[in-house]
Amino acid sequence: MINKKSISNKKFEIAVIGLGYVGLPLAIEFSKKYKVIGFDIKQKRIQELSDSFDVTSEVSTRKLKLAKYLKYTDNVNEIKDCTIYIIAIPTPINSQNKPNLKPLKNASKLIGKVLKKNDIVIYESTVFPGATEEICVPILERNSGLKYNKEFFCGYSPERINPGDKKHKITSIKKVTSGSNKQTAIKVDKLYRNIITAGTHLAPSIKVAEAAKIIENTQRDVNIALINEFTKIFNKLKIDTNSVLEAAETKWNFLSFKPGLVGGHCIGVDPYYLAHKAKQIGLNPKMIISGRETNDSMSSFVVKRVIEAMSKKSIRSKNANILIMGLTFKENCPDIRNTKIIDLIRGFENLHMKVDVYDPLANKDEVFEEYKLRLIDHPIRNKYDTILIAVNHNKFRQMQFNNLLKFCKKKNVIYDLKNTFPKSHAVIKL
């Protein structure tokens, strides 16, 4: 329950910059203890949230309505009286797999224009070690006219949200915190401790906190790459990868990772940030780059396997109809950022196959805006030579296999990329 009196007595307000998968849940939780202004440059997003609707499905309508001490705006003048600014802006990569820091720089510039003496700016965006103080701080200084660690201060607390995960929510995930000096670090840590029930870990510096975050996803990426490499080997040896993993997992210290496409805004991106910084300081991060290359190659590997399976059944790939079930980068989540399913689609289209994509969770307008792709409303009966199950949505898992077959021609290939259906069914698995 919100204590109205304690909130009204607070001397400061928090501004959360960026109201996506990270920023919105954060703003909601802080608004239970403080007066919070959520800022986003997208007018449509502000209007949706004002109407208690979250297109990301991370926050329910009920929770949005209960957040009485949270205000939404796209007007920078409305956040100028805040004293704590939390920046939760995406940090994507460009077409050359290099860090695209433009959104983060723009956000820093915006905050710099309203920054006042003794204000604290906390970054949550995933970056390479040193980015906050080497790139963001100078922008804050230039646009505010204030001196870092004398007239304003910074913190870094990396986001650890897992989109679509209904069990591990923001308050139940331990938070790493840091500050630009000892006093600020303590303030930042106390701030997050007020909302994070799982507790906090105070890192000794901003650089350490940045590095801790970026190696979390890099480690996962490298491990998945190893499993993907195993998969390619076992495919040549005509051994079922999942059967191998099930056997290996019987040992207590075997690390359980699954093969597949590695996309999304974190695992498929963060290693490139660390590799970029490593190259800047004269190092060649061979393992990181090799892992990324292996994982990025999986789309073409899957396309090749599908075509081989079609050939064995005498199904011509040219002008064949294929249904791809799922577009989001992970199951039970509407997030389409950096989804590797797009690489599959383009791969099949380059082979002159006719591709239908069905995903009931993805927003059709966002998909078209981002990828110029039109999703179908529903699969068509008796149309498809091949069905590829690309994302393990609950809706797909609950589908009866016989109902899936209704969409196929008599002679067909079903490729189950995510082990949605049991082994007993006549499907090809990764």
DSSP 63: H
Q: From residue 353, give the alpha-carbon distance in Å to each of 40, 169, 322, 386.
A: 40, 41, 7, 10
Cα–Cα distance, 25 to 121 (Å, whole number):
18
Which candidate, 200, 215, 129, 203, places its Cα nearest to that of 170?
200
Cα–Cα distance, 386 to 315 (Å, whole number):
9
Question: Catalytic site residue 266?
Answer: yes
Active-site residue, from 82, 136, 266, 333: 266
Q: From residue 74, give the alpha-carbon distance in Å to each of 50, 89, 106, 181, 367.
A: 12, 14, 14, 31, 24
Q: Is there a contact between 328 and 335 (Cβ–Cβ < 8 Å)?
A: yes
Which candidate, 331, 307, 330, places its Cα nearest to that of 385?
307
- Token code pair at residue 349: 């289209």
Instruction: Count Cα neighbours of 291 within 13 Å in the Cβ-side half-sphere.
Output: 26
Catalytic residues: 266
